[in-house]
Each structure stands twice: as C-alpha cells, then as structure tokens.
C-alpha cells in the first residue's frame, strides 16, 4: 500500500454523485494521527464541501487492528526532548490543528460516516465522535487512556463524554476503562453496529441510493441503510460491561469533589475483572490528569464544543509545560518501565496554585491559536 499517510478514493454513485473515502494509512503505528495526516484531511475537507458531486464522506483506516490509537505521542515526546524550553511550539501547533479538525468534522455540512473498527482511543475518539454516523464493529475497543500518560481526555472529550449516559463519561475519563461496541451504543458514544466484514457491502448499498441535493434527506437515506445492516447482525454484538456496572458507577461518581470520587472508585476490592482493571489504572494514574479530567468534565457540562476545545488546549499545553506528559510517555511508550514518576505524585500534593496553573493559558503575550474558533 502507498506510503501516503492518508489515502483518498471515491465510490461512484448514481447520477454522477460520489462518496469520498479517507483512509488513515499508518497501519504499523495503529493509524496514530500525525500532523501531516491532520493537515491532509483538513485540506481535503475544503474540497469535499465545495464539490457538489460529493454526497457523503467515509473515514476509515488501513488494516483490521485500529481506526486510530490516538495522536502520534512518540513524535510529541521527541519534540519535547529535542526542543528543550521551546518544546511548546510544536506541542501547541499539533494540538491546535488537531482540535480544529475535530471541530470541522463535528460541523461538516455533508454526512460524515466514521468506521470505528478495532482500537479507537484518544485522538481516534476525536475522529469517531465527529461523525454523523459513528459505526462500531465486533472488534471495537474504545478508551480515553490519558490518565496513564499525563495528558487529559481531549479532542472534545470534555464535551462528548458529557453527552454519555449518566456519569459513564466521567468514569471513563478518570479510569481510562476500555469499552466495546455494545457499551458504546449503550453510553451514546456510537450510533450503529455493523460487522467489520460488511464494510464493502455497506458501501455498495450506499452507492446504489438515489442521491439528492439536500444533506438532511441524504442523511435519512444513509440511516436507513445502516440500520437495516445493524438489524441483520444484532446477534454479533459482544457482551457489554457498562450497563451491568452503571449502578455502581453512578454511586462512586456521586461525590461532590474529585477526592471523594477517587476515594470511592479506588476503594473497590471486588473480583470483577473489568472494574479491577479500571481501578488499577486510576491508582497508578497521573494526579494532574485526574484533576484536569474532573475539572474539564464539570466545566464542559455547560459549554459548547468550541469552548471545550479551547479549555483542552490550555490543559494539554500545560501538561507539556509542567513535565507530566513527557514523563508519562517516557514510562509507557519510550522506555516502557511502566513506572512514571509524576510530580506531584499524589492528589494531596497537587496544590490549589498548581491546579490553577494547569487551567491558565501559559503565555501572557500570546493568545490561544483557537481564540477564533
């Protein structure tokens, strides 16, 4: 396959119409998003919007393992190491351009179909949640695992996790817990289940439709095709976890402070394997991430997506500035000792002054590159 990091193709439809297909093409890296990939999709999006023959967009990925495992954090780590005090230029540029793409997908005027097969984590969730039709498969593994690497659930998570059922989004943000297709549908983080092997059949059925000029009418047609395919394959849905654990999740996330929530979650001593993994992840997580996950979730409840993305950019840049992101990536990705030395090491040591610093845009002489979003 081509070395181009995003492949663009077309599916011919009736009356000269077409569905354009953007395929993330970094299979060995689990299709992790690079800045080049972000820029390629952004540039093509302008063409798709202007082209009257384009009736829908499908975003998928090369291989069977992942839609997208997140941002290219190895490259971000290298930029922090090589650039010293000026690490923030690349970090800020990367996240601001990625977040602009997220915002663009959420507000795109033509139907956007996202094929969320395999690993869909971090930046991959930003892509999936930007779709009008968020498709999950029998292989889907969704998570926002930033608590382990000293970042924060971003790419709009402080908005879309607030759309999830009950407090499930807050629980997923704090614990990095993995969920599958059934869980994603239950939580409201996905729309449609279709087996991975049916993607070509789906495209054929969409191409056979009679397309009009009205995006809403085209979306209704798409919905009919996708729902019919889902109905044919309901038996393939995997067993979920969220619904079975929702009463417990609601209980432990009902406290009035972050400390109360963390204490309630980490007090679990049962033998449920899914909960045990989530609790263990939180216990070894980054205190600054816990704070940002909670604080941005609370603030995001009353904010539109664009304002959430601005908050997230401040948080991600500060995670770089204060070293927790670099240390988390070192421990989990680079040296793989799984023993990050986050500073501060506990929530109790994360002072009110430190918390305020993480929420404050770090440069008085430079406005946020998302100020106009």
What's the CA gap between 206 and 61, in Å, rounded?
19
Q: Tens of pLDDT along 50-97?
A: 999 999 999 999 999 999 999 989 888 888 888 766 657 888 999 999
Domain tally, the chain: 1
Say what the pLDDT of residue 2 is. 63
The answer as to whether 367 is a domain residue is no
Say what the pLDDT of residue 75 is. 86
What's the CA gap between 303 and 320, in Å, rounded?
24
Mean pLDDT score of the chain: 96
How far is C-alpha 278 from the geometric centre of its chain's CA atoms? 18
Exposed, middle or buried by CB within 10 Å (0-12, 13-18, 19+), for 356?
exposed
Span 319-327, average pLDDT? 94
The answer as to whether 56 is a domain residue is yes
What's the CA gap between 31 and 37, in Å, rounded?
10
The answer as to whether 368 is a domain residue is no
The answer as to whether 211 is a domain residue is yes
The answer as to whether 243 is a domain residue is yes
By DSSP bridging, strand 18-24 and strand 6-12 are antiparallel
The answer as to whether 369 is a domain residue is no
Q: How many CB atoms lie within 10 A of CB 255?
A: 14
Q: Which residues does the annotation mark as catalytic?
A: 71, 123, 146, 154
What's the CA gap between 260 and 251, in Å, rounded?
11
The answer as to whether 23 is a domain residue is yes
* H or E stretch at 119: strand 119-121
Q: How many CB atoms lie within 10 A of CB 251?
A: 12
Span 327-351, average pLDDT? 96
The percent of residues in the chain predicted with pLDDT above 70, rounded, is 98
Helix axes 242-252, 273-283, angle to 10 degrees: 40
15: left (phi over 0), alpha (psi -120 to 50) or beta: left
Domain range for 157 is: 6-358
What's the CA gap between 307 and 185, in Å, rounded?
26
Q: Give whole-number Cα distances, 273 to 48, 246, 256, in Å.
A: 45, 15, 27
The answer as to whether 353 is a domain residue is yes
Closest residue by Cα to residue 88 from 310, 319, 327, 306: 319
Query: Looking at per-residue confidence, does 330 or 85 come out higher?
Result: 330
The CATH number of the domain holding residue 245 is 3.90.226.10
pLDDT at 303 over 60: yes
Span 130-150, average pLDDT? 98
CB contact at 8 A, 363 and 86? no
Say what the pLDDT of residue 87 is. 58
What token pair was written down for 290?
Answer: 């816990």
């Amino acid at each position: 396959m081509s070395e181009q990091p995003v492949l663009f193709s077309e599916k011919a439809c009736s009356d000269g119409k077409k569905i354009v297909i953007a395929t993330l093409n970094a299979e060995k890296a689990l299709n992790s998003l690079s800045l080049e990939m972000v820029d390629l999709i952004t540039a093509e999006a302008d063409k798709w919007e202007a082209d009257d023959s384009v009736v829908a967009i499908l975003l998928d990925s090369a291989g069977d393992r992942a839609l997208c495992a997140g941002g290219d954090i190895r490259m971000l780590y290298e930029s922090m190491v090589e650039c010293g005090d000026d690490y923030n230029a690349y970090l800020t540029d990367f996240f601001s351009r990625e977040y602009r793409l997220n915002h663009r997908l959420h507000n795109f005027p033509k139907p956007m179909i996202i094929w969320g097969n395999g690993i869909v984590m971090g930046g991959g969730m930003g892509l999936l949640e930007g779709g009008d039709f968020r498709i999950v498969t029998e292989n889907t593994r969704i998570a926002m695992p930033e608590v382990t690497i000293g970042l924060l659930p971003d790419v709009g998570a402080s908005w879309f996790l607030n759309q999830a059922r009950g407090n499930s989004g807050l629980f997923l943000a704090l614990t990095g817990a993995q969920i599958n297709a059934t869980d994603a549908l239950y939580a409201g983080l996905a729309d449609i289940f279709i087996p991975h092997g049916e993607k070509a059949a789906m495209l054929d059925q969409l191409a056979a439709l009679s397309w009009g000029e009205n995006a809403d009418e085209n979306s209704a047609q798409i919905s009919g095709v996708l729902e019919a395919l889902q109905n044919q394959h309901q038996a393939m849905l995997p067993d979920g976890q969220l619904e079975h654990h929702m009463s417990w999740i609601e209980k432990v996330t009902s406290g009035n402070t972050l400390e109360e929530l963390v204490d309630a979650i980490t007090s679990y001593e049962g033998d449920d394997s899914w909960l045990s993994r989530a609790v263990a992840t939180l216990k070894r997580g980054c205190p600054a991430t816990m704070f940002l996950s909670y604080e941005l979730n609370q603030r995001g409840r009353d904010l539109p997506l664009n304002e959430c993305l601005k908050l997230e950019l401040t948080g991600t840049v500060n995670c770089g500035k204060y070293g927790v992101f670099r240390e988390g990536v070192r421990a989990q990705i680079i040296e793989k000792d799984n023993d990050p030395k986050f500073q501060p090491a506990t929530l109790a040591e994360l002072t009110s002054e430190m918390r305020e610093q993480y929420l404050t845009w770090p440069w008085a002489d430079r406005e946020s590159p998302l100020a106009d979003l």
